[in-house]
């Protein structure tokens, strides 16, 4: 230049580091399950990083220098207190309002790096509910208590606390008859051979609803057991030495006990024939003579050997009842013995001959039942009071004497 001398001042030109914020990845877990820290980190997508880096820098400028496991994280959805962890508590309540963040700053050659918070989600845990089995007797509305069990409680929650905080259950028993018209007729159950279920309709409320959802709901069995019906056999009787009349064997429908659920006696009588020999009951009369006794000519047991019973068994089954056959009484009454004394003539003064005629002249007739009736004379204790003898050594005068 003609008029100037140019002097260049040696000034410094400084390029400052760029500030960038790396986006932390979103994380999630299930209520009560600790977060997997291997999923903690920042977005390392190449396109994402090129979008925030300057001057055309490659993503490796960040990824080669910042490692996920070197970052200090703060997850508001996680519980990291050691004492609580010992109690099985690893997360906050289920929800999506938590964050994962880091206060770290990293200085790279050309960048000051901070971290943008990500979302931290605690998903609801899943419960498996199983309804317990229940049972009752046919015709009864007294079912065993309705209950249910659960699995899947987490995060230090007990089964009881999950139930109390809260779960409500409404049960439906397909084996129970609950309509008013049937109940007025005393009908309370289905048949004993039915396949029934106890169903549970569960509603989660309160803290339980916040942290849990139902995954499975398994129904229980509802069993109707058979009732017991009692069939009382008829009382029977006979006379000593006379066979029992088997035509009287059987039962009276009016004495049947245990009928329930609106049933009448026809439920039993239509299925259980009590006719001796061709019905459904096999009879045993303990008053009958034994096989050995029958060979000796006996028909019945003795009068005083009892008590005797008419007993019965059956293979018959009813859909809703077990059959219990109650024994009847079998009574043996005394038989009648008929005594007669014949006519006899002896010489006047022969007291011994007269006495012999008196002792041997009595006969016994009646139902023998295998007994030797002649042997019974001595047991009867007959005392002959004929006036043919004045005393054991002296006869009466000669004349016809009529036995008293």
Tokens (6 digits) for 125: 């845990």
Residue 138: name the closest of 172, 186, 179 by CA: 186
Cα 389 from Cα 396, distance rounded (Å): 5
Burial call 73-82: b when 16+ CB within 10 Å, e when fewer: bebebbbeee
Cα 103 from Cα 114, distance rounded (Å): 7
pLDDT at 115: 98
**Phi and psi at residue 336, in whole multiples of 5°?**
-95, 135
pLDDT at 44: 97
Q: Under a CB-based contact definition with an 8 Å cutoff, are residues 137 and 227 in contact?
A: yes
Indicate if the pLDDT at residue 352 is higher than 80. Answer: no
Bridge-based pairing of strands 321-326 and 227-232 is parallel
Locate the domains of the chain by residue range: 18-123, 125-225, 227-333, 337-395
Looking at the chain, the whole-number percentage of residues with pLDDT higher than 70 is 82
Cα 231 from Cα 279, distance rounded (Å): 14
**Section 351-373 average pLDDT:** 66
Interval 295-318: pLDDT, tens: 988 999 999 999 999 999 999 999
Helix, strand, coil percent content, the chain, rounded in steps of 5: 20, 35, 50
pLDDT at 396: 67
Interval 87-108: pLDDT, tens: 999 999 999 999 999 999 999 9
pLDDT at 398: 65
Interval 230-263: pLDDT, tens: 999 999 999 999 999 999 999 999 999 999 999 9
Indicate if the pLDDT at residue 349 is higher than 80. Answer: no
pLDDT at 274: 95
pLDDT at 10: 64
pTM summary value? 0.77
More confident residue, 404 or 318: 318
Which of 6-10, 41-45, 113-117 has the least mean pLDDT? 6-10
More confident residue, 401 or 228: 228
pLDDT at 4: 73
Q: Of 3.10.430, 3.40.1710, 1.10.3470, 3.30.70, which CATH number belongs to 18-123?
A: 3.10.430
Interval 371-387: pLDDT, tens: 666 666 666 665 556 67
Which of 73-77, 321-325, 384-388 has the least mean pLDDT? 384-388
Tokens (6 digits) for 26: 């979103």
Bridge partners of residue 214, in order along the sequence: 127
Q: Which residues make Cβ contacts (< 8 Å) with residue 350, sequence separation at least 6?
A: 395
Band (pLDDT 50/70/90 cuts) for residue 355 is: low
**Section 188-216 average pLDDT:** 97
**Hey, is 376 helix, strand or coil?**
helix
């Amino acid at each position: 230049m003609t008029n100037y001398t140019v002097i260049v001042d040696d000034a410094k030109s400084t390029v400052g580091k760029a500030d960038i914020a790396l986006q932390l990845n979103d994380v999630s877990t299930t209520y009560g399950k600790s977060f997997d820290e291997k999923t903690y980190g920042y977005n390392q997508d190449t396109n994402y990083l090129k979008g925030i880096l300057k001057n055309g820098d490659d993503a490796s400028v960040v990824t080669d220098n910042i490692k996920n496991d070197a970052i200090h994280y703060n997850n508001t959805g996680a519980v990291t207190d050691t004492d609580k962890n010992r109690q099985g508590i690893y997360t906050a309540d289920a929800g999506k309002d938590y964050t994962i963040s880091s206060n770290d700053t990293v200085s790279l050659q050309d960048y000051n790096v901070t971290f943008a918070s990500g979302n931290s989600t605690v998903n609801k845990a899943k419960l498996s509910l199983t309804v317990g089995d229940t049972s009752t007797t046919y015709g009864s509305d007294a079912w065993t208590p309705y209950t249910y069990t659960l699995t899947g409680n987490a995060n230090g929650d007990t089964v009881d606390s999950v139930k109390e905080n809260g779960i409500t259950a409404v049960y439906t028993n397909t084996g129970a008859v609950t309509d008013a018209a049937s109940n007025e007729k005393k009908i309370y159950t289905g048949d004993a051979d039915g396949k029934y279920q106890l169903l549970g309709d569960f509603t989660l409320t309160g803290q339980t609803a916040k942290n849990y959802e139902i995954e499975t709901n398994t129904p229980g069995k509802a069993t109707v057991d058979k009732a017991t019906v009692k069939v009382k056999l008829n009382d029977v009787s006979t006379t000593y030495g006379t066979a029992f009349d088997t035509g009287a064997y059987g039962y009276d429908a009016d004495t049947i006990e245990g009928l329930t659920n609106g049933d009448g006696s026809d439920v039993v009588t239509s299925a259980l024939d009590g006719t001796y020999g061709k019905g459904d009951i096999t009879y045993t009369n303990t008053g009958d003579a034994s096989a050995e006794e029958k060979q000796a000519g006996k028909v019945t047991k003795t009068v005083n050997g009892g008590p005797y019973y008419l007993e019965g068994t059956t293979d018959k089954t009813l859909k809703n009842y077990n059959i219990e056959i109650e024994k009847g009484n079998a009574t043996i009454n005394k038989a009648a013995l008929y005594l007669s004394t014949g006519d006899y003539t002896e010489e006047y003064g022969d007291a011994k001959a007269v006495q012999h005629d008196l002792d041997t002249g009595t006969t016994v007739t009646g139902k023998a039942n295998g007994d030797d009736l002649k042997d019974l004379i001595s047991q009867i204790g007959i005392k002959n009071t004929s006036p043919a003898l004045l005393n054991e050594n002296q006869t009466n005068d000669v004349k016809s004497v009529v036995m008293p």
